[in-house]
Structure formats: structure tokens, C-alpha cells
Amino acid sequence: MTIPTVTARATAPPETISTGTASRLPDTRTAADTLVVDGPTDATFRRARQMSERIEADLPVDPTAYRVVTGDRPTGDLHLGHYIGTLSNRVRLQNAGVPVTVVIADYQVITDRERPGPLRDRARALVADYLAAGLDPQRTAIFPHSAVPALNQLLLPFLSLVSVAELHRNPTVKAESLASRRTLSALMLTYPVHQAADILCCRGNLVPVGKDQLPHIELARVIARRFNDRYGTVFGEPEALLSSAPVVLGVDGAKMSKTRGNTILLGADEDQTTAAIRSARTDGLRRITFDPPARPSVANLLAIVGALSGREPARIADEIGDGGASVLKALAAEVINESLRGLRARRRELLADPGYLDEVLLDGTARASAAAAETLERVRAATGMDYFSG
């Protein structure tokens, strides 16, 4: 690919947004990943892994050197996969003293569907899930990105920094576009640029992500770098913080996802949770062993119990042994219900007070707007569009 204005950084390998397959990576794919056309390249993934390890080591030393930006699409209620994969990590970072910003990515909802759905209710429900999981609105700003005009305005100069061909090569966009079975809209094609605005408007320098989001973080880095090269240094290059949490499968053995309807919702009650786990797919083998490639659905239940109880899945398997799937399922249901009991009670209380949830959003929006306005001022000054200042 041609990159017109890139300065190589000592720590970065050559440009790595390309369409290789991740063939030398350990195969952590699930059935759900069969839709993925390509993943990030080996080099991108390896670099992100190494950087993540370095950053994890540095975080406790200097937490306020980092500004975490992360986000969710308000397309439905959060589930156990979110809790294990992202929510608990955000809470951990916040509690380590890192400023955290959470974007409710409402514009991303209409990338692959025609109707936005009940956004207002969904935004409130997200706030309830976040706070119930332990995010503290004093320390963590939560806002819908549609509500911050300066953020959206950054999209225009950013669009000038990337080519249409580059956007077409984004493997995550390709996969999402295919899965949506709709013609590729211009918003679908450009949402990763908008996501760069989410991150850069708040001067985010650390973005906790799973592997599928790596191409977007690479793009945000490229945009920051090209902007700086053209107009003078305004942005730092954000880093991905790769999660070490397991990918949680749904009760049907495919990746747990809202669209697939195989989830265990954070808002489900204990009986629903127990029934869902009881119906979860397992295999015909009596003896329980932890063998993710050969026995993905059994390994998934073990990994869930492991993640929630801080224990090794293989040890849990040993303990169950010939107890079989019924013992494993009973244990999983119990551990999930116990782990989520406090969260679920807080969630119910929070949902009963929508006025408070709106206040949290309003306050987060005010903080994000202040940061984004300041960033936009600097962008205006750098690009010579600061007509009315000074």
C-alpha cells in the first residue's frame, strides 16, 4: 500500500494495515469467526501483544499517563461475554487510577442496520450496566458520541487523511458488511475513521480491545501520524490494550453475541440463567477435561467459571472429573449467579431511576464536549481554519 506521509517510529514495524491471514497465530477462532474474511496481520497482532504487555507493566507505576477510551454500540443489553471480556477490565483500569471514557457509539448502530432502535432506553440500560459493574461516573465519563458536535466535526479533516482503498481493505468492515447482507453504506465504510475521532477527540492514548478491533486502532494511529506530519504535532498515537480474557461462547457453542440470541444477559434473573446454562451445548463425553480445540463448549463453561472465580479451568475440570456435564453446568450456573448477584441488584435499582441515568449521561457529555472542543480548536489552528480566534 502507499502511505504518502508516514514517518517511521522506532518502536513500530512497517505499516501493517493489510489483508494477510493470521495463520501462524494460535487458532482461537470460534464458529462465529468463520465470517471474518481476514484478521489483522501477524505483525500487527504481535506488536500489539508486546506493547500491551509493556503497558500492563507500566500502568500501576504511572496510571495517570494513560487515558483510556473505549466504547459500545447501543444495540441491546450487555451479557456475560461483555462482563468477562470488557466490563471488568474497564473497572480494573478505572480502579487503578486511569481516567476512562466510555463512548456510547450510537452512530455505529446505523452502519449495518436501517433502524437505530430504542436508543434512549438502550443508552440508559448501558449506563445502568456500567455503573452496576463498578464504573464510577465521577471518575469515568460516559457519553453518546452523537451528542458531541466537535467530535463529529473531526471526522472531516480525518477523512482527508485516508484513501478509499485503505478503508475497503479493513478486514473488520469487510466482515461486518458481509454479515449484514446489505450494500456497503458510506457510513459503514468510514465508521473506523469516526471511531478514530472518538478516540482522538478525548486525547485517548490507550484503547482496550479484542483482536477484531485492532485494524481500527491501527487506523487511528495512522490518522494521528498523518495529521501530525501534514499540520504539525497535535495528536499522540493511541495504543491498543489487548485483552487476555477468554472469548465467551454462547449456549449454542458460537461466540456469545446479541444478534445470535445465545447470550446470558446481565439483566437475566437467576432462574433464567440456570435454565440457559442447563440448555447449553456440551458433548457426549462423560469425563470433563479442559481441551478448548477439541471440546470448545465444555471448555467454554470451564473458562467462564475460571474467569469469574479466578481459578484455572484445567483444575476445575479435574475436580469435576467423572461428574460429567450436569455437575459442570450446576457449578457454572451457581458461579455466574453468585458473581452477578450484586451487579443485578444494583442494576435494578439504577434502572428504576432513569432521571439519574440521564444525569450521568449529561455530565459525561459535558466533559467529553469540553475535551473535544479543545481538540477541535487545536485542529482548527493547525489547519488554518481558526478565523475567529485571536
x/- letters, 209..248, toward ligand TRP (CB under 6 A) = ----x-----------------------------------
Q: What angle do CA 369, 375, 381 make, to 5 degrees?
A: 135
Q: What burial class does residue 4 get, using C-beta atoms within 10 Å of its C-beta: 0-12 exposed, 13-18 middle, 19+ buried? A: exposed
**Nearest residue to ligand TRP, using CB?**
71
x/- letters, 104..143, toward ligand TRP (CB under 6 A) = -x--x-----------------------------------
**8 A C-beta contact, residue 123 and residue 105:** no
Q: How far is the CB of 104 from ligand TRP (least distance, A)?
A: 8
Q: How far is the CB of 175 from ligand TRP (least distance, A)?
A: 12
Q: How far is the CB of 304 from ligand TRP (least distance, A)?
A: 20
Q: How far is the CB of 86 from ligand TRP (least distance, A)?
A: 8
Q: How far is the CB of 218 from ligand TRP (least distance, A)?
A: 13
Q: What is the DSSP string of 55-76?
A: HHHHTTT-GGG--EEEEE--SS
The verdict on 70 binding ligand TRP (CB under 6 A) reads yes
The verdict on 317 binding ligand TRP (CB under 6 A) reads no
**Closest Cα to residue 361, out of 197, 195, 137?**
137
Q: Tell me, what amino acid is at 45? A: F
Distances, alpha carbon 367 to alpha carbons 20, 204, 321, in Å: 40, 14, 52
Residues 345 to 374: which contact ligand TRP by CB under 6 A? none
**Closest Cα to residue 357, out of 101, 143, 152?**
143
What length does the chain have? 390
Q: How far is the CB of 192 from ligand TRP (least distance, A)?
A: 8
**36, 69, 84, 303: which one binds ligand TRP (CB under 6 A):** 69
Q: How far is the CB of 152 from ligand TRP (least distance, A)?
A: 13
The verdict on 198 binding ligand TRP (CB under 6 A) reads yes
Q: Tell me, what amino acid is at 90? A: R
- Residues of the chain by 3-state class (helix, strand, coil), percent to 5: 55, 5, 35
Cα–Cα distance for residue pair 106/119, rounded to 1 Å: 7
CB within 8 Å of 199: residues ≥ 6 apart: 69, 207, 217, 220, 238
**41, 47, 68, 71: which one binds ligand TRP (CB under 6 A):** 71
Name the segment binding ligand TRP (CB under 6 A); options: 103-111, 135-143, 160-168, 239-247: 103-111
Q: How far is the CB of 176 from ligand TRP (least distance, A)?
A: 9
**8 A C-beta contact, residue 25 and residue 45:** yes
Name the segment binding ligand TRP (CB under 6 A); options: 64-72, 113-121, 155-163, 361-369: 64-72
Give 262 or 274: the residue with its C-beta nearer to ligand TRP.
262
The site for ligand TRP (CB under 6 A) is made up of: 69-73, 103, 105, 108, 195, 198-199, 207, 213
